[in-house]
C-alpha cells in the first residue's frame, strides 16, 4: 500500500471553526533533509548532521544505515564520518566528483598507512585552498593531531596546495593565484612573490612531488602528489612524518614510490589514465621554502 499525506483537524481556538492542516510523511521528510545535509559537506559525523538538521541522533543513525545499504552513503567507521557514495547519482542530484574521489581513495589510503604507519591525507580544491577530506590519522600511531578533516591548507605554503598548483592547467593555476593573492593569510604571502613561487612550482613539477614550507611547522613535514582523473588533477595525496625522525631526503627515498603507487591506484579506479607523474627521488638542493 502506498502511503499518502494525511489531513488532520487542528484544535480550534474558542469561537473559531477547525481548519484542516495538511502534513507530509515525516520519515520521508527526514530522509530528504538528511541527504540534503550530507550534500552540504563532503564528510559529516552524526554530531554534524544533528546540528544541521535537529533530527534525533538515533533516527539519523537508522537512516544512515538504510542509505548505506542502498549504496547512497559510505562510512569511514574509524572516525565515524559519512559521505555521499556513487549510488546517490541515481537520484540525479547532489553528486559531484568529490564524494566519489573520497569513496575510492579511502581504502587505498588506509592500506598505505597500515603498511608504513605514517598518516596520509586526501585533499580537494575549494576556492582558495585545499581542504582535507580524508585522513588516516585515526589509524596511525604517528600523528601530532587527533583529526585534520576539513582543515584548509594554503595553495602556496603547504605541500597539498603546491602539488595541486604545479600539476593543474596553466589557466586554472592563474585563476587560483588571482584569488589567493587577495588573501591576507600569512601562509599565502608567497603568492605575492611570483618569481620565487614560479621556481618552486617548476621544481615541484620536475621532481613529481611537493614539500610543505618548513616555516609553518617545525615538528612535522609533508610531501604531496597529485591525484589525476584522465588529464585533470582532482585531488592531492599527502604523507606526513615527524621532522625529528626523518629528513625530507630520507622520507622521499623511503616512501615516495609507495605514495605514487597509491595515487596511481586511486586514479585507475576513478577511470582514465594513471597519474604517470615523472618522479625524481634524487633530492634537489632547493631552499627550505619548497
pLDDT tens sequence across 2-36: 444 444 444 444 444 444 444 568 888 899 999 88
Position 165 confidence tier, pLDDT thresholds 50, 70, 90: very high
Q: Residue 231 above 50 pLDDT?
A: yes
* DSSP calls for 207-256: HT-EE--GGG-SSEEEEEEEEEETTEEEEEEEEEEETTT--HHHHHHHHH
Q: Residue 278 above 80 pLDDT?
A: no
Supply the pLDDT for residue 163.
98
Domain 97-270 has what CATH class? alpha beta
Adjacent-strand bridge partners of 233 = 228
Adjacent-strand bridge partners of 152 = 131
Rounded-to-integer distance, Cα 261 and Cα 277, Å: 11
Highest mean pLDDT among 78-82, 94-98, 213-217, 279-283: 213-217
Q: Which residue has the higher pLDDT, 35 or 116?
A: 116
State the average pLDDT over residues 90-110: 79
Rounded-to-integer distance, Cα 68 and Cα 234, Å: 25
Q: Which pLDDT tens digit goes with each residue over 147-158? A: 888 899 999 999
Domain 19-91 fold is Arc Repressor Mutant, subunit A (1.10.10)
Q: SS3 of 74, please?
A: strand
Cell representation of residue 252: 622521499
Q: Point out the least confidently predicted range of 4-13, 166-175, 198-207.
A: 4-13
Q: SS3 of 110, please?
A: helix
Adjacent-strand bridge partners of 130 = 125, 153
Highest mean pLDDT among 41-55, 77-91, 215-229: 215-229
Cell representation of residue 281: 627521488
Supply the pLDDT for residue 85.
82
Give the closest residue to 229 by CA, choosing from 279, 261, 263. Answer: 263
- For the chain, which residues make up each domain, given as ranges? 19-91, 97-270
Rounded-to-integer distance, Cα 180 and Cα 164, Å: 14
Quote the pTM value.
0.65
Residues whose CB is less than 8 angstroms from the CB of residue 91 and which lie 6 or more positions away in sequence, other chains included = 35, 72
Supply the pLDDT for residue 78.
55
Supply the pLDDT for residue 201.
98
Q: Residue 284 above 90 pLDDT?
A: no
Rounded-to-integer distance, Cα 146 and Cα 144, Å: 7
What is the number of helices (H) and of strands (E) in the chain? 8, 10
Q: SS3 of 22, please?
A: strand
CB 240 within 8 A of CB 112: no
Position 235 confidence tier, pLDDT thresholds 50, 70, 90: very high
Percent of the chain at pLDDT exceeding 70? 80
Mean per-residue pLDDT of the chain = 84
CB 81 within 8 A of CB 102: no
Q: Return left, alpha or beta for 210; rule: phi > 0 is left, psi -120 to 50 is alpha, else beta.
A: beta
Count CA atoms within 13 Å of residue 278 on its CB side.
Answer: 9
Backbone angles phi, psi at 29, to 5 degrees: -60, -45
Position 217 confidence tier, pLDDT thresholds 50, 70, 90: confident
Residues whose CB is less than 8 angstroms from the CB of residue 245 and which lie 6 or more positions away in sequence, other chains included = none
Instruction: Give the number of other CB atoms < 10 A from CB of residue 129.
Output: 25
Q: Which pLDDT tens digit goes with each residue over 55-87? A: 999 999 999 999 999 988 888 755 568 888 877
CB 51 within 8 A of CB 40: no
Amino acid at each position: 500500500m502506498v502511503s499518502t499525506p494525511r489531513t488532520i483537524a487542528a484544535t480550534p481556538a474558542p469561537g473559531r471553526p477547525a481548519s484542516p492542516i495538511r502534513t507530509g510523511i515525516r520519515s520521508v521528510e527526514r530522509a530528504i533533509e538528511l541527504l540534503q545535509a550530507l550534500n552540504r559537506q563532503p564528510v559529516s559525523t552524526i554530531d554534524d548532521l544533528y546540528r544541521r538538521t535537529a533530527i534525533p541522533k538515533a533516527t539519523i543513525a537508522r537512516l544512515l544505515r538504510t542509505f548505506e545499504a542502498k549504496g547512497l552513503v559510505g562510512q569511514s567507521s574509524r572516525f565515524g564520518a559519512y559521505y555521499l557514495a556513487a549510488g546517490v547519482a541515481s537520484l540525479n542530484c547532489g553528486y559531484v566528483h568529490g564524494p566519489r574521489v573520497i569513496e575510492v581513495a579511502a581504502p587505498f589510503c588506509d592500506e598505505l598507512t597500515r603498511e608504513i604507519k605514517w598518516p596520509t591525507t586526501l585533499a580537494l580544491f575549494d576556492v582558495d585552498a585545499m581542504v582535507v577530506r580524508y585522513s588516516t590519522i585515526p589509524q596511525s600511531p604517528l600523528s601530532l593531531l587527533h583529526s585534520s578533516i576539513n582543515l584548509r591548507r594554503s595553495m602556496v605554503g603547504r605541500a597539498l596546495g603546491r602539488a595541486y598548483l604545479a600539476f593543474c592547467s596553466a589557466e586554472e593555476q592563474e585563476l587560483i593565484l588571482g584569488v589567493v593573492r587577495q588573501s591576507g593569510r600569512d601562509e599565502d604571502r608567497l603568492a605575492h612573490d611570483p618569481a620565487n613561487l614560479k621556481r618552486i612550482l617548476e621544481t615541484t613539477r620536475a621532481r613529481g612531488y611537493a614539500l610543505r614550507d618548513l616555516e609553518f611547522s617545525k615538528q612535522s613535514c609533508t610531501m604531496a602528489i597529485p591525484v589525476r582523473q584522465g588529464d585533470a588533477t582532482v585531488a592531492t595525496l599527502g604523507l606526513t612524518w615527524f621532522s625529528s625522525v626523518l629528513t625530507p631526503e630520507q622520507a622521499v627515498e623511503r616512501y615516495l614510490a609507495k605514495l605514487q603507487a597509491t595515487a596511481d591506484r586511486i586514479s585507475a579506479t576513478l577511470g582514465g589514465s594513471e597519474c604517470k607523474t615523472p618522479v625524481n627521488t634524487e633530492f634537489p638542493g632547493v631552499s627550505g621554502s619548497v
